[in-house]
Amino acid sequence: MDVSALDEASLAGSAVDIGETMQAIAEHKGCGTSGGTGNASCGSQAGQGDLPTEIWEKVKNHPCYSEEAHHHYARMHVAVAPACNIQCNYCNRKYDCANESRPGVVSEKLTPEQAAKKVLAVASTIPQMTVLGIAGPGDPLANPEKTFKTFELVAKAAPDIKLCLSTNGLMLPDHVDTIARFKIDHVTITINMVQPEIGAKIYPWIFYNHKRYTGLEAAKILNDRQLQGLEMLTERGILCKINSVMIPGINDQHLVEVNKAVKSRGAFLHNIMPLIAAPEHGTVLGLNGQRAPTAQELKALQDLCEGETNMMRHCRQCRADAVGLLGEDRSAEFTTEKIMAMDVKYDLKMRKAYQAKVEEERVAKVAAEQEELAELGNEMSGVKLLVAVATKGSGLINEHFGHAKEFQVYELSTTGAKFVGHRRVDHYCRGGYGEEESLATIIRAINDCHAAFVAKIGGCPKSNLLKAGIEPVDQYAHEFIEKSAIAWFKSYLVKVQSGEIQHVERGEAAIRQGALISAA
């Protein structure tokens, strides 16, 4: 790697030692996302386990930082920062930033005052909304005034809401102190490479110090600033999540290196997201016919990095003005027009009471799973398989097959049920045009699963699923996901052992490419 030609000594990331605490956090393997593997020491469980208390307090009801929390708590994004300072080849700036959102989505832009009002309106309507994020479109730190003004207004009016921020990292080192002062305790940095040669294929240019840089030079400056920013944040005890976009043939293998680099600098969570690229998004990669990874390739890479850091597998690549539980979007209920007409009363007591109820639910869910798991304990089998679950949240199998906008995928083995991802699908039940076709799309999306758990399913889709080799399971309607999945798995193993059925591997599954434009 020859980057010595660059005379950018002043930019080189200072190699600061990471404080011992942060090192300890980084070493917490398997946390954050491994909901229910029976690993009781994990940040994703309903209990604190052995996570340090300060960290547990930060993640326990943050839907992005805790897989387990994401079934129960909601987040919202406000789009106050449209300007950006770098160009990504998977992004078309007519739309929202693709680092967190799906390409091809346009969010409603707000002033900081409008944004603050929106936060209060949402918090009063959706008491489980605990997190406000600013993630673009654009880079929040390319618009520092608007970003920090919004945080300031929200912190004053709704002090219980956690603040978080997503950035490409270019301006991060300049703002770390402000971030700490505003008590923003979660920061996401998108890091797609730690090698300028690879970066040059992803970033055509950056705008830095009043100058446009291109090629290797641009990639090197960007990466130095990202890693320096990460070090500065973890030193101050601010939790960092790293997003990486997996681009087959460009950085897929390299992301293992990225994983090591960010882990050694104290990143709490690594979120490897699939590239979403279609020619109609007008992105450079989309127009070049760059393909997206398959669900298997994505999972294999996530599995490979899992031993190194906590992996996030529940990211929905939300829109920049998303509102609600992950996987759900209620932004249409909160348009600027509607918010401005609302008379908002912020009721902290009501929110607290509601959240206490959610906590009870979480504890009950884990207890039920542990009980079921205890019985599985003496089973011996190498069988490992995936199942798809239709859920509206709260950790329950409570969605009708035809209404599901996504399926959550769990990996079942004798060690338990582990959340490993989600598959976005179109509503099947819209009726009329293309019904057959959308059913086929759903089957493609969950084609690697052995069973689909639903609250209800019609006769026709049922027989289609069976034909595709996916067992429709509706006898656990409105029960806890993990507990039910383990119970089903037990009977599956019994049937395999008795020779009633044969265990076969399933095929590949596709990741849905289209932008989710409708806010439905």
Partner 1 sequence: MPFKIIASQCSGCSACELECPNVAISEKGGTFVIDPKKCTECIGHFDEPQCVAVCPVDNTCVVDTSLPRYQARA
Cβ-in-10-Å burial (0-12, 13-18, 19+) of 415 comes to middle
Return the residue of 156, 211, 349, 467 that touches partner 1, per CB under 8 A.
Answer: 211
Q: By CB under 8 A, is residue 82 in contact with partner 1?
A: yes
Q: By CB under 6 A, is residue 316 in contact with ligand SF4?
A: yes
Q: By CB under 8 A, is residue 212 in contact with partner 1?
A: yes
How many binding residues for partner 1 (CB under 8 A)?
A: 15
The answer to whether the beta carbons of residues 68 and 361 sit under 8 Å apart is: no
Taking CB under 8 A as the binding criterion, the range among 76-84, 253-261, 421-429, 462-470 that sits at the site for partner 1 is: 76-84
- Identity of the residue, 137 or 395, whose beta carbon is nearer to partner 1 in the bound complex: 137
- Identity of the residue, 42 or 64, whose beta carbon is nearer to ligand SF4 in the bound complex: 64
- Identity of the residue, 93 or 400, whose beta carbon is nearer to partner 1 in the bound complex: 93
Taking CB under 8 A as the binding criterion, the range among 168-176, 207-215, 439-447, 448-456 that sits at the site for partner 1 is: 207-215
Taking CB under 6 A as the binding criterion, the range among 117-125, 174-182, 259-267, 314-322 that sits at the site for ligand SF4 is: 314-322
Output phi, psi for 79, to 5 deg. -100, 95
Q: By CB under 6 A, is residue 315 in contact with ligand SF4?
A: yes
Query: How many residues in the chain?
Result: 520
C-alpha distances in Å from residue 161, one per residue of 110, 145, 324, 353, 356: 19, 20, 14, 15, 15
The answer to whether the beta carbons of residues 225 and 194 sit under 8 Å apart is: no
How many binding residues for ligand SF4 (CB under 6 A)?
A: 9
Q: By CB under 8 A, is residue 342 in contact with partner 1?
A: no
The answer to whether the beta carbons of residues 72 and 355 sit under 8 Å apart is: no
For the packed helices 459-467 and 435-445, what is the interaxial angle rounded to 10 degrees? 50
Query: Binding pattern to ligand SF4, positions 35-64, x when CB under 6 A?
Result: -----------------------------x
Paired tokens of 434:
């293309």
Query: Binding pattern to partner 1, positions 139-178, x when CB under 8 A?
Result: ---xx-----------------------------------
Return the residue of 71, 75, 299, 483 that touches ligand SF4, per CB under 6 A.
Answer: 75
Paired tokens of 418:
């582990």
Return the residue of 21, 87, 415, 441 that touches partner 1, per CB under 8 A.
Answer: 87
Return the residue of 147, 226, 302, 317 that touches ligand SF4, per CB under 6 A.
Answer: 317
CA distance 408 to 480: 13
The binder of 143, among ligand SF4, partner 1, none, by C-beta within 5 to 8 A per type, is: partner 1
The binder of 315, among partner 1, ligand SF4, none, by C-beta within 5 to 8 A per type, is: ligand SF4
Q: By CB under 8 A, is residue 352 in contact with partner 1?
A: no
How far apart are CB 207 and partner 1 at their closest, in Å?
5
- Identity of the residue, 82 or 112, whose beta carbon is nearer to partner 1 in the bound complex: 82
Residue 410: in which H helix or E strand, if any?
A: strand 406-413
Q: By CB under 6 A, is residue 326 in contact with ligand SF4?
A: yes
Paired tokens of 326:
């992950």
- What single-letter amino acid sits at 397? I
Q: Which residues of 328-337 are buried (b: 16+ CB within 10 A; e: fewer)?
A: bbbbeebebe
Taking CB under 8 A as the binding criterion, the range among 77-85, 266-274, 349-357, 416-424 that sits at the site for partner 1 is: 77-85
CA distance 446 to 151: 39
For the packed helices 295-306 and 255-264, what is the interaxial angle rounded to 10 degrees? 30
CA distance 163 to 151: 7
Q: Decide: helix, strand or coil at residue 93.
A: coil
- What single-letter amino acid sits at 37? T
Binding residues among 100-119 for ligand SF4 as defined by CB under 6 A: 100
Paired tokens of 94:
């007519």
Binding residues among 361-380 for partner 1 as defined by CB under 8 A: none
The binder of 345, among ligand SF4, partner 1, none, by C-beta within 5 to 8 A per type, is: none
Q: Which residues of 142-162 are buried (b: 16+ CB within 10 A; e: fewer)?
A: bbbebbbbbbebbbeebeebb
Q: Look at strands 310-311 and 269-274 and give their pairing.
A: parallel
The binding site for ligand SF4 (CB under 6 A) comprises 64, 75, 100, 133, 315-318, 326
Interface ranges with partner 1 (CB under 8 A): 82-85, 87, 93-94, 137-138, 142-143, 207, 210-212
